[in-house]
Amino acid sequence: MAETVLDIQNLAYRWRGPASFALTVPTFKVSKGETVLLLGESGSGKSTLLSLICGTILPDQGCVSIAGTDITTLSARARDKFRGEQIGVIFQQFNLLPFGSVADNIALPLRFAPARRSRVPDPMAQAAELCTALGLPEGVTKAKAAALSVGQQQRVAVARALIGQPPMIIADEPTSALDANSQTAFLELLFAQTQTYQTSLLMVSHDPRLGDRFDRVIRLDDIADVQRAAA
Amino acid sequence: MMVRLALASLMARALTVGMTILAIALSVALFLGVEMVRSGAKASFADTISGTDLIVGARAGSVQLLLYSVFRIGNATNNVTWKSYQDIAARPEVDWIVPISLGDSHRQFRVMGTTQAFFAHYKYRQGRSLVLSDGAIMDDLFDTVIGADVAATLGYRIDDPIIVAHGLASFAEHKDQPFRVAGILEKTGTPVDRTVIISMEAIEAIHVDWQGGAQVPGQSTPVDVIREMDLTPKAVTAALIGVESPLQTFALQRAINEYRAEPLLAILPGVALQELWGIVGIAETALFAVSAMVVVTALIGMMATIFSSLNERRREMAIFRAMGARPATIMSMLVIEAMLMAAIGALLGLLLLYIGLIIAQPILDSAFGLWLPIDAPSARELWAIVGVVCAGAIVSLVPAIRAYRMSIADGMMVKS
């Protein structure tokens, strides 16, 4: 059996606010190198689950283990560093610092993750290599991020998530800002890279048509129980 | 890389950031400029008289005596009689004594009657003597020596005629006794530059036909006759004294202050200057406070700019958070950004100050006789810049703390 990268057990989280909202996840695992598509409608608690996995919010009970470390036992400072080391994050859009160069954007996580940094002897060369592998034009690393098209920006975000080979990539609807053709190209490149580096991929989407490329497709409702108080 | 990104982030908001930096630069230039004028004025005043141990005049305030005798500011309320002057001059403690007679003017410049001893004993800026740039010290009764500014402003050369006016800003002129420019002094940066110097006898000579402040109607004594008259002065306005030994200064001062025949006042120039600083000290402090407040205002403006940028930068902060940045890192990034703005602003302010100084130096000199030297920034100025950068950091803590809270609440998920 493959090594487990993400392991969630008995997780319960309640959002304390005007609209009360509770999320429980009895168990959920992602193995090393596995690609998982998590389907859910908007407002189904996807973002909350991703925040719990990334450690920007803490569950009320249960544990979230990434690469064997239970992040709920870590301090806030250690969790932030751990996230930088272990997880590459790709957002829906506006992934990049618009004023920074492409190379700076790609190298950014290394600044906060010394272990990832140590795996990259030459960040600028690595950034250029990743850009080439992701089909970005030659010399793009020196361009300002804001000058790139949305599709190019998403690929740069992939390069940023991959640099220094974190064990896991979390992607939050990375294709929703792209048209159908770009979506296919983007996913092909993403899969090629995760396979090369044996990186686990947890991608969240509302679009079931993307599912056939993934090792596993899970509906959020199947692993989690979401409760909402009637407003 | 973080500083590079911070700079890039500032560049991306060039307009608002530029305005903020400009405001800081102007405020810093103002602050340092006020400081510079203040210390320059002090130095300029302190440099005006040197080597004189006592100044004697009719009894009045010591600051007033200093101002009219040395700086030609204000007027004497009374004169010292020639007899008293001679009594003082005859005292054993007195090494040298120079009489000064004021009250007349030529155009916008004051006329000062004195003796040749003035050129020997008047010293400025740590013991420098007056030097003629052209001509000679007055020799004839109707000769004058003029200061550098007088010559430059009125375009006078040697042998040009000068007509002295009676009193200050007056239309009554001593037309019947024209003077001749005998010498022109080199620039000193003191009120001497703006003075027309004539002999004590000449002061008497031009007032032969005057009584009680007005010309006797129809009376005009020919110059030849005047030259034959006894022109011993009847009074002096003030006198500069050098003592034989510094130890005797206070004894002589007391003796003059207790002079029975006439109420007199003897002052030590340095002490009177200190008194003057005491008087202007409040205004100085107020000026300092106002210019410091301008700097604070500019920094608060910067705080407002950072505040208003926070909302549009939530996405940026979320990206940093997703990359593993702690909320404290995001906070420190904002502080670094503010310090960069303050530092650039302060240095730009220093540059503005020097540009302003280069432009204003000749204007200040000719209009106020205030010579501001252009030197490398002093330690005081560098500390002021460090202070501005630190104050910028402190002020930016307010929006930075808000960013800290926001980045904890948002995590890496911003709905935008």
Mutant choice from A53, A57, A77, A80 vs B, greatest count of B C-beta within 10 A: A80
Pair B342, B24: CB distance under 8 Å: yes
Count: domains in chain A: 1
Check CB contact under 8 Å for B411 and A54.
yes
- For chain B, the three-class secondary structure string (H helix, E strand, C coil) is CHHHHHHHHHHHCHHHHHHHHHHHHHHHHHHHHHHHHHHHHHHHHHHHCECCCEEEEECCCHHHHHHHHHCCCCCCCCCEEHHHHHHHHCCCCEEEEEEEEEEEEECCEEEEEECCHHHHHCEECCCEECCEEEECCCCCCCEEEECHHHHHHHCCCCCCEECCECCCCCCCECCCCCEEEEEEECCCCCHHHHEEEEEHHHHHHHCCCEECCEECCCCCCCHHHHHHCCCCCCEECEEEEEECCHHHHHHHHHHHHCCCCCCEEEECHHHHHHHHHHHHHHHHHHHHHHHHHHHHHHHHHHHHHHHHHHHHHHHHHHHHHHCCCCHHHHHHHHHHHHHHHHHHHHHHHHHHHHHHHHHHHHHHHHHHCCCCCCCCCCHHHHHHHHHHHHHHHHHHHHHHHHHHHHHHHHCCCCCC
DSSP category for residue A179? -
d(CA B236, CA B248) in angstroms, rounded, equals 23
Pair A23, A78: CB distance under 8 Å: no
pLDDT in tens, A154-206: 889 988 988 888 889 998 888 887 887 788 888 888 888 888 888 899 998 88
Specify the amino acid at residue B7.
L
Exposed / middle / buried, residue A179 (Cβ in 10 Å: 0-12, 13-18, 19+): exposed
B183: confidence class by pLDDT, cuts 50, 70, 90:
very high
Domain ranges across chain B: 2-45+280-410, 54-267
Residue A48: pLDDT over 50: yes
Residue B248: pLDDT over 70: yes
pTM over 0.80: no
* CB-CB neighbours of B160 under 10 Å: 15
Specify the amino acid at residue A12.
A
Residue B147: pLDDT over 90: yes
Check CB contact under 8 Å for A80 and B12.
no
B98: Cβ contacts below 8 Å, ≥ 6 apart: B114, B115, B117, B118, B121, B122, B239, B240, B241
A2: confidence class by pLDDT, cuts 50, 70, 90:
low
Mean pLDDT of the region B187-203: 90
Residues of A in contact with B1 (CB under 8 A): 104, 107-108, 111
Q: Check residue B74 and give its pLDDT.
A: 84
A166: nearest CA in chain B?
A: B323
d(CA B194, CA B187) in angstroms, rounded, equals 10
Specify the amino acid at residue A13.
Y
CA-to-CA dists, residue B189 to A46, B64, B172, B359, B375, angstroms:
79, 21, 30, 18, 17
Of B9, B11, B321, nearest to A56 by CB-CB distance is: B321
Residue B170: pLDDT over 80: no
Q: Does B260 touch chain A (CB under 8 A)?
A: no
Q: Check residue B117 and give its pLDDT.
A: 92
Mutant choice from B412, B414, B416 vs A, greatest count of A C-beta within 10 A: B412
pLDDT in tens, B305-321: 998 888 888 888 888 88
d(CA B32, CA B377) in angstroms, rounded, equals 10
Mean pLDDT of the region A66-79: 86
Measured in degrees and rounded to the nearest 5, phi and psi for residue A74 equal -85, 155
Specify the amino acid at residue B248.
Q
Q: Check residue B30 and give its pLDDT.
A: 93
Q: Which carries the bigger pLDDT value, residue B2 or residue B186? A: B186
Q: Does B14 touch chain A (CB under 8 A)?
A: no
3 state SS of A121: coil
Of B12, B315, B324, nearest to A113 by CB-CB distance is: B324
Determine the structural domain holding residue A84 and report its residue range.
4-228
Residue B220: pLDDT over 80: no
B222: Cβ contacts below 8 Å, ≥ 6 apart: none
A 79-108 residues with CB below 8 A of B?
80-85, 89, 91, 94-101, 104, 107-108
pLDDT in tens, B103-140: 888 888 999 999 999 999 999 888 889 999 988 888 88
Closest CA to A139 of A151, A120, A157, A152: A152
Residue B73: pLDDT over 90: no
pLDDT in tens, A125-161: 888 888 888 888 888 888 888 888 888 888 899 889 8
Residue B26: pLDDT over 90: yes
Q: Does A9 touch chain B (CB under 8 A)?
A: no
Closest CA to B233 of B101, B325, B413, B41: B101
d(CA B334, CA B329) in angstroms, rounded, equals 9
Weakest mean pLDDT among A39-43, A86-90, B335-339: A39-43
Q: Check residue B416 and give its pLDDT.
A: 43
Q: Does B325 touch chain A (CB under 8 A)?
A: yes
Of A51, A97, A146, nearest to B5 by CB-CB distance is: A97
A43: nearest CA in chain B?
A: B415
pLDDT in tens, B353-363: 999 999 988 88
Complex ipTM:
0.89
Q: Does A198 touch chain B (CB under 8 A)?
A: no
Q: Check residue A41 and give its pLDDT.
A: 79
Mean pLDDT of the region B190-196: 90
Residue A122: pLDDT over 60: yes
B184: confidence class by pLDDT, cuts 50, 70, 90:
very high
Closest CA to B30 of B298, B337, B394: B298
A231: confidence class by pLDDT, cuts 50, 70, 90:
very low
